[in-house]
Each structure stands twice: as structure tokens, then as C-alpha cells.
Structure 1
């Protein structure tokens, strides 16, 4: 098939897939799932939307959380393991969980190391941004309070989404992932996972600021969770992610690399979960605002901290990452 014909097919598919495939909404005692599809020239993805309890009873606009699963999982497993839906019911926010296709990646990983997926308006980021836009058009969403989080490959894609769509997202949270453009090839991605990125977080911080087209000056709050014993994604990736987004916020503050936002933690505290793990929290506050927090969970491997232990890739002995993530997002607006 020639290039023009391929593009024509994708335009037709994208038109069909952009039509909502949602179930009927009705008032319910608890939240419920609805389903959709979105496609563009770069492909198509299914997604699931969790509407919180009482959504149909009000007219107010609610926050939206984009949640990106890790490899070999999907929306349902991500929701059950994290228990995000329970928090959404209690706190009243909408969640959208996209599903990676096996045709795009046999292990259902988001393809974060590929250059096509590291810029605005192209590749998987454009699909994910399109999903967010479609959900905003069908539900009552407060555009000032749209956030993104993910784990592992979904965490690395979270860094890309917050960097390249800083006009869409108010804040992000990376769980066991990596910084923006930690690698630009598959082999480089494998190296970064095991050893950390070979690139400077400060340089990548500038690239991240540039990816969105250097919009109006704005800082990008970032929360990072990582296990100190993570053998799948080296914990150094968490530290690099914090440093990269602090540099991005330094540029977003006044468009200058002048250390108006520094790289030193303003407070460090260690806590203990009764009967569980200890963890250290580094907080980076500037101008009266918390711009970044780094949670290092001692002894935890590659897992969602505080998740439901009945599911893989969770560590119920750690602090509740889902609740902490939501509380980090709760009062932040774009």
C-alpha cells in the first residue's frame, strides 16, 4: 500500500475511533466504568474512564487524572492494584486509564525510549493527549486540574506528557520510572533502566521545557516514588527525574537558567509505616510552593507502594502512594 493510501486509511480510522463508545451514564451508589476509543495518524488506543460515585448527581467540574499502566498490565489491573478508584469515589475526581496495544509493544509497555514518542504532536504522546481531550469533551472536567501519573514505562511516559503538554497538565507523579528523554533508543533505554541515564538531568530539563514550545512561564510540580531495592529500574532514575523537573521549573519560573529554583532539598524526613517499611521524603519548596517531592521507600523493589498485595507489582508494606499522589495533586491548578 502506498504512503498516501496508508494515510487515508488512518484518517478514516481516526474519524471512526474519535466517536465515543461510552456506556449510558446514570446515578449510582458507587463509581462505574465507561469505555472509549481514540485514534489519529499515529495509531489508536482503547481507554477506560472511572466516573466517581455521585458524578451524575452534580453539575460541578471535576479534576481528571490520567493513569498510565506499566508493562504486562492494563487498566483493570492498574486500578485494582493502586485502589485509585476508591480514592476517586471519596474525593470526587475522574480517572482515565489508556490501554497500550500488543501490536504497538508485545509486552504492553509504553514506548518511551523511541524518539517519535518524545515530542509534542507525534507518536504515543499525541494519542494520549487526544484521549485526554476527548474525555474532557464528554465529561465535566476542570481543565485547570488535569494531572498525570504512571508506573515503570508508564512513569517514563508520564515525564514525557508533563514536559511536552505542560499546557494540559497541572502536575505529574512518576512511580519507578525515569526522567524526560532518559534515552533515545531501545538499547539506551535498557541501559538507563539498569544504570540510570547517561544524559545530564539539567540538559534534559531544558529539553523538557522546550518540548511544549516554551509556553508562558510556569513551574511543573513533580512527585517521584521509588524503591531503594528496585532491580528493574535503578533508583538513580528517581533522583534524575527530580533534578530534571527542578531544572524545568527553574526555566519555567522566569525563562532563565539562573537557579531561581535550586536543586537542594529544603527538608528531609524519614518515617516508618507501623509493621511495614521506612521511607525518606525529600521536599523541594521555593517561593512558598512545593515543586517536587521524592519518596524513597527503603527495601522496596519494583512495585506500587502501599498497593493491594493481592496483585503483582505492589508492596503493601510501603506508604500509600495512591493517596499521597492524589493529595499532592489535589490543590494544584494549571
Structure 2
């Protein structure tokens, strides 16, 4: 169950919260504004913020983008860093920002390293999908055009959501993150972040396909990473791309037969307005851009082209927000 609200204190207990949720579902907010809410599920409760774009009309279904912040961030900071709300106003999509609670992680990292958060129907992935369902009930959402993207811990959790809920999300963006089940323990996660996963991307590609129920569809993913990332080894970005290409290889015809291959169909290098060079590798099969890998040369653990007033911004990089949305709008379920 979920509650949409304009502000105010949260309920003192989950019981009272449930009552408020049941009775307090009001009319959606006007366009060009924040809506605050909380979702309660079997795995606990998390807050969230929803940006309703300027020009929103209740009778016109809009795309929905789920934006997952990284560690030491909250929705307001992530929105400011990425300028996603401005892009949403210009392009006409809703943005849902789940908020990690400090009482479950003091650094506000998503707990992607816990086994309960690596499967369908439980943990933080289920809570986020519950938020998506709540927004669909209150707002005009095009269910074929729901996307998810995140950075760092949010990027890793994005990979899990794309792996286990590919029937919900039409495409995803893994920023400075890692592949699905790059590690299955806390100590293993620390190793993977520093050196890359010890597991095979091909094996994890099959695991991801299985987690969504062996669907017959590709799973389009954009991967962004800095070449000098000192927090999450860039090898993790390579592994994430290979893993999802393998997932799509299973998804397009049900078998691993290299119908979707792990080699790019094109590679190009560009220079951002801020000065950094970046390489884009495209993976196009059957006329579909199944994967795109973007590596920003010289960039550390950051959001490319982000607002320098916020932490984890690299203004010298390309505009990651525009590149992400350009990738997303090519895809629908």
C-alpha cells in the first residue's frame, strides 16, 4: 500500500501509517510539482518523491522514469545533480525517486549486496515496484514505457530490477554500477567493487533471464562508467554490458545461441562540451538497440555532465541525462 502526500510528518507506526494510506488517497497534485509518498510492503517501508511534469494532463498517459540515487544522496540531491526534472518538463515524463531510509542503511546506500534484494517479489526491488504500481494507480502512466536508471548503488539495484522485473521496465541505465549478482555476500561485494566480479557474465546473464521468469523479450540496457572510477572498478561496467547482452540472447529466442552477440556493431568517440572524450559502443541486433556502453575517459565515480553544485558531479563529461533519455525513448514493452 502507498500514500501520496504534499508534506507533513510520517505516521508514528506502520499500523497508523496503514490507516492513513487507506484513507488518505487524495487527488493527484497539479503539474510541475513534487508529490511525497511512502510505500509499505512485506519488506518494510520506504519514502519516495514523484515529479509531475509541467503540462501533465490526467487523461494523457506519460512515460515514467524511476531514478535511483547513490550512497550519501537523497532524491532532492539526485534530482539536482541530474537535472532530471528539467528534462521531464521538456519531454513530458514522470520521475519517481525512491528514497533509501537511513534506518536500514546509515549511508543511504541501497542494500543491493543482501541476498533478499537479489530476487523477484521480495526486498527493496519489490518495494520499488510497489511504488511504481502506486503511481500507476494515481497518475496516467504509459505502462509500456516505464524505465529505471541509477548511479553507483542505485546503478547496481537498477541491474537487479532489470533482471528480475523485465516485464515492468522497458529499458534501464546502469551508471557506475555492476552486473546482476556481481557478488552474493557483503565481503564479496567489497571485492567486486574494487576488482570486478569473480562470476561469469554469461552465467549471470542466464540467472537474470531466469529471475524474470524466462521471458521472450530482449532487455535493453545503457551502461555508463568512468575510465578512472576509483570506487567501482570500470571492469564492472564491462561485465554489466556482457551480462545483459547474454540475458537478451536468451530472451529473444529462448536459447543461448549468439543471436545477440557480445561484440559491438559500432564504436564511436566524441568530445563533450566540457572537454572529456567518451566512447560509445552500440549493440544493434534485429534492428533494435539492445545495448549501449558509454565510457567517459578520465572520469572518476560520478554522474557525467552533472550540476557541479551537487556531490558526485563531473561537469566535464557528456550530458548523461540527455543520453539516458534518448536511449530510453527508443524502447517500449
Bin for the TM-score computed over the shorter chain = over 0.9
By how many angstroms is 1:214 displaced?
1.3
By how many angstroms is 1:275 displaced?
4.5
Structure 1 counterpart SS, 2:281: strand
Deviations 1:85-132 (A, max 9, x none): 000000000000010011111111001111110000011111111011
**Number of residues of Structure 1 aligned to a counterpart in Structure 2:** 321
Give the TM-score normalised by structure 2.
0.93
For 1:11 and 1:187, locate their aligned partners in 2 and report how far apart those are by CA, in whole Å.
32
Structure 2 counterpart SS, 1:45: strand
1:100/1:16 CA distance change after superposition, 3 Å: farther
CA contact (8 A) 1:149 1:175 kept: yes
Number of the residue aligned with 1:304: 303
Give the TM-score normalised by structure 1.
0.93
Number of the residue aligned with 1:261: 260
For 1:82 and 1:20, locate their aligned partners in 2 and report how far apart those are by CA, in whole Å.
35
Map 1:146-185 → 2, pairs under 5 A: 146-185=146-185
For 1:264 and 1:189, locate their aligned partners in 2 and report how far apart those are by CA, in whole Å.
27
1:98/1:73 CA distance change after superposition, 3 Å: same
Structure 2 counterpart SS, 1:290: strand
By how many angstroms is 1:24 displaced?
5.8
By how many angstroms is 1:150 displaced?
0.4
Please, which runs of 5 or more residues in structure 2 have no aligned partner?
1-12
Q: Are 1:236 and 2:232 matched, yes or no?
A: no
RMSD: 1.7
Number of the residue aligned with 1:332: 331
CA contact (8 A) 2:29 2:35 kept: no
Number of the residue aligned with 1:51: 52
By how many angstroms is 1:59 displaced?
1.9
Deviations 1:128-165 (A, max 9, x none): 11011111111000000000000000000000001100
1:213/1:32 CA distance change after superposition, 3 Å: same
Deviations 1:272-329 (A, max 9, x none): 1244100001111101111101000000000000110111101011010001101101
Please, which runs of 5 or more residues in structure 1 have no aligned partner?
1-9
Deviations 1:199-235 (A, max 9, x none): 00000000000001113x0000000100001000000
Q: Which moved more, 1:14-23 or 1:236-245?
A: 14-23
By how many angstroms is 1:15 displaced?
3.7
Map 1:29-48 → 2, pairs under 5 A: 31-48=32-49
Number of the residue aligned with 1:121: 121
By how many angstroms is 1:54 displaced?
1.2
Map 1:23-172 → 2, pairs under 5 A: 25=28, 27=30, 31-56=32-57, 59-172=59-172
Deviations 1:56-83 (A, max 9, x none): 4x62100000010000101000000000
For 2:195 and 2:232, locate their aligned partners in 1 and report how far apart those are by CA, in whole Å.
8
For 1:311 and 1:114, locate their aligned partners in 2 and report how far apart those are by CA, in whole Å.
28
CA contact (8 A) 1:17 1:44 kept: no
For 1:108 and 1:213, locate their aligned partners in 2 and report how far apart those are by CA, in whole Å.
30
For 2:26 and 2:20, locate their aligned partners in 1 and report how far apart those are by CA, in whole Å.
15
For 1:26 and 1:97, locate their aligned partners in 2 and report how far apart those are by CA, in whole Å.
16
CA contact (8 A) 2:30 2:52 kept: no
1:147/1:125 CA distance change after superposition, 3 Å: same
For 1:257 and 1:153, locate their aligned partners in 2 and report how far apart those are by CA, in whole Å.
29
Q: Which moved more, 1:147-156 or 1:12-21?
A: 12-21
For 1:42 and 1:142, locate their aligned partners in 2 and report how far apart those are by CA, in whole Å.
27
